[in-house]
Structure 1
Amino acid sequence: MGFLPVLMLILWIRLPMMAQPVSQRLCSAGLGAAIEAIIDRPSLARAHWGILVQTLAAAPSARRTLYARSAQQYFIPASTAKLLTTAAALQTLGPQFRIRTSVYRMDLADQVILRVVGRGDPSLSRKDLQELAHQVQQQGIRQVDRLLADDRYFRGDPIHPNWEWEDIQSGYGAPVNSLILNQNAIGLELFPQAVGQPLQVKWEDAEAAIGWTIENTSITVGPSEPEFVEVGRDVRRPILRVRGQLRVGSAPDSAAVAVLDPAEVFLKQFQKALVAQQIQVRQASLDRTVEPGKQQEVGAIESPPLMALIQEINQTSNNLYAEAILRTLGTVDNPEDSSLSIGLQRMKTTLTRLGVNPSGYDLADGSGLSRHSLASPEALVQTLQAMASVSAYRASLPTTATAGSLQRRFEDLPVQTIVQAKPGTMTGVVALAGYLSNPDFQPLAFSLIVNQSPLPVRELRQAIDDLVKVMARLQSC
């Protein structure tokens, strides 16, 4: 036997052991076996899987379930819960809805009183405060006897009652109140120094960092050492705690911490903005008791439209935005309940009207950061089916068609195959839910969730990606 036949025989023997290419097409009858070949791998066998794959159709009777495993069972959905929050918000508020922050003038007993009223705009920045102060200055106001900040639009505790401690310290778990500024967080970067030296802490906003004390027990290590960084803060005082290690010469590590009292921070920054406009402020305080009498709006700024806010929620998985939008749903006149609980109730009412089974999910928050939030693959797919024709919703999802997180995950998919989906990740949880379109098969709505696994996130995510690549092989046959 010559060299070439031997080589061909070796290749023929080895080929079945290789990963199947995406281009190898699959009939729908074989989808179940292909999925189970992945989720029943020995390393994944003890994990808890929830999967539902359906053909996409406007009428429920026209939808075909191609594969289901524990599709009606509860799972921790992580950030795929945002699919429910944003669907309810779009249906209730509309894509052009904006959140307005107002400054009112009240004249009482020969005093000029300014009252800034927040309504939970998560996008508000220091530049916006400067614009508000400029509008006040344009009204001819040069002196303010009392500056009041009204933070009462959202009712209830700004800190979620069942978020975990390490989450509420971090920027991604910042408190949710009515007067939000710079996402209620302070960003920082950690730079390695010489070996043996602590990491240098550099605040993104030096002014916002005034008053903070840094307890830095971090260290710069040699090029072969492992890297890890933990950043936290004291629960009551502005103390930043940094521990861990980075290799000498490595790139800086980014982090963010939640501010302690966001309403106070907002008030101080707005007072500074007024002073910069040559407006004297004699007294500034939070408005906890004053009931507004006759007042005139002398300044206002609006958020981007809701369709832009939900794009931030779904594409960057912004927790603060999701929680603010949920509480916006809960701002009805009911002083007995928190905006969070009413928002969750209104979400359930809205999604039920869309055809989502109300017993298919039980959320504790709008972002999925809470491990008390539960959802079934069925509820997620029902939401995706109901919202498939809503362009603002579809456009908010990460996609393989544009640069972003999904494109990097599915670079080997054919260019004609498009995945629009929301990922979700936390320790022991990886999820992906959305739409898949390829030219050889009907569009799909799917939900893939894995819970209760000790494997590293990267391994669980790879298994989820392998499932998507299996679905991308479907063809009509």
Structure 2
Amino acid sequence: MVTMERGAWLLGPLAGAIASLVLASPAIAGICPAQVGDQIQAITRRSAVSRSQWGIVVDTLTPDSPLFPHSGAPIQRLYTQGGDRALVPASNAKVLVTAAALQRFGPDYRIPTSIYRMGSTEPGSPMILRVVGRGDPSLSDQQLLSLAQQLRDQGITHIDWLIGDDSYFQGETVSASWESEDLQAGYGAPTNSLILNQNAIGVNLYPQAVGQPLRMEWENPNDAPGWQVRNNTTTVPRTASEYIVVGRDMTQSILYLSGQLWVGSEPDLSAVAVTQPGDRFLERFQQVLADQGITVGRSEVVRASMPDPGIEIAAVESLPMAALVTEANRHSTNLYAEALLRQVAVAENSDRARTSALQAGQEAIAAVLAPLGIDSRQFRLADGSGLSRQNSVTPAVLVDTLQAMGRSPDAQLYRDSLAVAGISGTLRNRFRNTAVAGRLWGKTGTLRDVVALSGYLHPPNHDPVVFSILVNDPNLSLGAARQAMDDIILTLHQLQPCP
């Protein structure tokens, strides 16, 4: 059995990044740019983090960026420590993927999902319909209902053969370098062409009276059929510890629940991955069709593209690309980033992507970012989400990407796709009650041995700053590393110009 911890289904290993409240460090009256190095080194030399691998780059924002008021001074490198060191970035890999997706498609692009009628359309001919998924990570039951209603409105009451075309993204649906516990968690859901409800099954656990099992509810009641639930949870008094483990059998539809929550506490929201997402999509669509009075004779999912495209008779579209990028960045939703990587790969390198959209991703991201001056030798992407420890990125290339996006026509949109300190996304619980709240836009990243934060900082008395901080350490104390990282940000916020 594989497990997933309390509240972690959407972000997975990133959930820790939003779990700590950072208290303000002792106030600094103000520091000159020349003092930044000494201040940061004093933090990275703390005993709890001094043996970790640090990669830090801090630059002033390019003066041609419209993001913030600016003195017009050229870019200045305020500090670097291991800036060209290739490190595991965790979810900071999403900075590259989302920048490329926005550049390649533009903010208004929408991913279509279509239904085609195959074969003859003469009266009495078999009704053969093909649902073509193109990897829309935002597709939900609502879009399935729209498709079914479009068919119903055309007078269709029976489908002889319903084909789910899952061929748009070829190759692996998950990275071979992901760890086993990731594969069954909601944050590690597979990425295919026919995505539905983020390819995850959500469960909510509610405390009851002390000593009683937690009450479980399916987030979507339509997911309940066919599952066995083994609930070994308990409601406990507030003197006890809280923990939740949600897992699933690797080969059967058995859900395992264990752990305990305080009486009167908030419910736990968790999820497990769907292992056969194409089948689940088609099964759910048939249920929606039945609710609209449309029966289906035969159905199957195919992974090979079909030579006859047929005639499009119904379609829905994804949220605009700007919204997909925001979901991937602000909330660090892995499935969205994985889908965006594959979208770029198919659009840029259709030949190679016909074998593996995932493996074509590195080359495609590099090709899109190259015109922005991004050096592809400074990053290697084994996935789009950052779950893989085979990803390697330099802090310098992350800063270069943020600088490039900061001067692009979509600069404000890209910045606003990031989490905001103390306010939104994966930074909503960090920097609260500090002067940094509302003045930092960043992308977090956390694995067991990785902490990362990259983004834009707007000190009140200095030109805006673009930074990337990556920490790798097999014996990493996440709390100590995150506190050190946040103290660096609090220090940079005190920047002021000096003669």
TM-score scaled by structure 1? Answer: 0.91
Distance of 1:298 and 1:112 partners within structure 2 = 12
Distance of 1:63 and 1:266 partners within structure 2 = 49
Partner deviation per Cα, 1:19-58 (whole Å, 9 max, x = no partner): 8644611001111111111111112112221111011116
Distance of 1:385 and 1:335 partners within structure 2 = 29
User: Unpaired segments of 5 or more residues in structure 2?
Assistant: 1-22, 66-72
Distance 1:288 1:317, change over 3 A: closer
Distance of 2:465 and 2:303 partners within structure 1 = 51
Give yes or no for contact 1:48–1:453 (8 Å, CA) kept in 2. no
Deviation at 1:401, TM superposition (A): 8.2
Aligned: 1:144 with 2:165: no
Give yes or no for contact 1:130–1:273 (8 Å, CA) kept in 2. yes
Distance 1:283 1:391, change over 3 A: same
Give yes or no for contact 2:61–2:464 (8 Å, CA) kept in 1. yes
Aligned: 1:258 with 2:273: yes
1:320 to 320, 332, 335: 335
Q: Relative contact order, CA 8 A, sep 6+: which one is greater?
A: 2
User: What pairs with 1:201-216 in structure 2 (closer than 5 Å)?
Assistant: 201-216=216-231
Give yes or no for contact 1:104–1:298 (8 Å, CA) kept in 2. yes
Report the equivalent of 2:385.
367
Distance of 1:276 and 1:416 partners within structure 2 = 48
User: What is the percentage of aligned positions where both structures have the same residue?
Assistant: 46
Deviation at 1:195, TM superposition (A): 4.0
2:284 to 255, 266, 269: 269
1:285 to 300, 314, 322: 300
TM-score scaled by structure 2? Answer: 0.87
Distance of 1:62 and 1:337 partners within structure 2 = 45
Aligned: 1:64 with 2:76: yes
SS at match of 1:463: helix
AA partner of residue 395 (structure 2): P
Give yes or no for contact 1:238–1:260 (8 Å, CA) kept in 2. no
User: What pairs with 1:32-43 in structure 2 (closer than 5 Å)?
Assistant: 32-43=37-48
AA partner of residue 283 (structure 2): K
Report the equivalent of 1:14.
none
Deviation at 1:220, TM superposition (A): 3.3
Distance of 1:344 and 1:209 partners within structure 2 = 38
AA partner of residue 346 (structure 1): A
Deviation at 1:110, TM superposition (A): 2.1
AA partner of residue 165 (structure 1): S
User: Unpaired segments of 5 or more residues in structure 1?
Assistant: 1-17
Report the equivalent of 1:351.
369
SS at match of 2:127: strand
RMSD between aligned residues: 2.3
Report the equivalent of 1:81.
93
Distance 1:415 1:253, change over 3 A: closer
Deviation at 1:216, TM superposition (A): 2.8
AA partner of residue 468 (structure 1): I
Give yes or no for contact 2:345–2:353 (8 Å, CA) kept in 1. no
Report the equivalent of 1:192.
207
SS at match of 1:409: coil
2:415 to 394, 404, 413: 394
Give yes or no for contact 1:58–1:386 (8 Å, CA) kept in 2. no
Distance of 1:376 and 1:411 partners within structure 2 = 29
Deviation at 1:217, TM superposition (A): 3.0
SS at match of 1:32: helix
Aligned: 1:91 with 2:110: no
Aligned: 1:179 with 2:201: no
Partner deviation per Cα, 1:169-189 (whole Å, 9 max, x = no partner): 111110100000000001111
Aligned: 1:165 with 2:180: yes
Distance 1:245 1:130, change over 3 A: same
Deviation at 1:192, TM superposition (A): 3.1
Distance 1:199 1:449, change over 3 A: same
Range with greater deviation from structure 2 (20-29 or 115-124): 20-29
SS at match of 1:333: helix
Report the equivalent of 1:45.
50
SS at match of 1:92: helix
Distance of 2:233 and 2:462 partners within structure 1 = 53
Deviation at 1:426, TM superposition (A): 1.6
Distance of 2:27 and 2:183 partners within structure 1 = 41
Give yes or no for contact 1:330–1:339 (8 Å, CA) kept in 2. yes
Larger-Rg structure = 1
AA partner of residue 461 (structure 1): R
Partner deviation per Cα, 1:221-240 (whole Å, 9 max, x = no partner): 34322222111112221111
Distance of 1:201 and 1:456 partners within structure 2 = 33
Deviation at 1:433, TM superposition (A): 0.2
Deviation at 1:69, TM superposition (A): 0.8
Give yes or no for contact 2:117–2:312 (8 Å, CA) kept in 1. yes
